[in-house]
Amino acid sequence: GDSVTQMEGPVTLSEEAFLTINCTYTATGYPSLFWYVQYPGEGLQLLLKATKADDKGSNKGFEATYRKETTSFHLEKGSVQVSDSAVYFCALVVSSGNTPLVFGKGTRLSVIA
């Protein structure tokens, strides 16, 4: 079946460091890819998305590029802030309609001042 694999956390970085959270996927069809973020005590918020190969999703300084050849959708940010501390989930959905999201296990990021 479809699946998402994320790098294990937790990830601890100093403020202004460069962030990469790896995400790879397997899918039977042509998926759309997403990053969701969960801040402490809150729900899941869509951070960015990409729907076809070579698309780059971006939001709040975060970026991820849909790489079909490597089946990857790595999340990057050039300079993290303390407020970026959260759990980040990579997810995919194959086809449109009512298909459910398939999530990775999540990666906890802690940014220290």
Residues of the shown chain interacting with another protein in the complex, contacts defined by CB under 8 A: 32, 34, 36, 42-46, 49, 51, 89, 91, 93, 96-106
**Smallest separation, CB 43 to another protein (Å):** 4
First to last CA, the chain: 41
Q: Compute the distance between CA of residue 14 and CA of residue 17 in angstroms, rounded to an integer.
A: 6
CB of 84 to another protein, least distance (A): 19
| Dist. CA 88–CA 11, nearest whole Å | 11
C-beta closer to another protein: residue 17 or 63: 63
In the complex, least distance from residue 47 CB atom to another protein, rounded to whole angstroms: 10
Quick one: which of 29, 30, 39 has its CA closest to 88? Answer: 39
Q: Are the C-beta atoms of residues 70 and 81 closer than 8 Å to each other?
A: no
DSSP state at residue 29: S
- Distance of closest approach, residue 86 Cβ to another protein, in angstroms: 14
